[in-house]
Amino acid sequence: MDPEKRLGIVLIIIGLLIPLAALPFVSGFSKDKGFLGNFYQVGIDIRKDTNGNVPSQPTTNTKETNSKVRITWSMLIPHRIPFRFLLVPPVILIYAGVIRIDRSRRKKHDN
């Protein structure tokens, strides 16, 4: 087998295995949401929120002249990684694998 074709097949397999490996960690899926609802709201939770742990809104000073918004580190850390972000690298790997296989076929026909 041509090494270019073998590399293409390996890239496609890796591209298919990345989302499958992430599926056990995904939360937020519901049968009632539909395709787009699940696509946009499913993700991998990074941390769990409790009422005392993370404030829902930033605290503000109520002085008339000096109104400041206090931002904490817990507000800057994301709560979850959307699953759709994990689908981008596999699509690129599958595309690169198909291109490699096509390139190996063209080389074979040119000779």
The reply to whether the predicted model has a pTM over 0.85 is: no
Residue 76 above 70 pLDDT?
A: yes
Flag whether pLDDT at 80 surpasses 60. Answer: yes
Q: Residue 33 sits in which domain range?
A: 3-48+58-110
Residue predicted with more confidence, 10 or 109? 10
Q: How many domains does the chain have?
A: 1
Average pLDDT over residues 93-111: 88
| 95 compared with 74, residue with greater pLDDT | 95
CA quadruple 79, 82, 85, 86: dihedral, nearest 10:
100
By CB atoms closer than 10 A (0-12, 13-18, 19+), residue 27 is: exposed
Quick one: tokens of 111?
């000779």
> In the predicted model, is pLDDT for residue 12 greater than 60?
yes
pLDDT band at 61 (very low <50, low <70, confident <90, very high): low
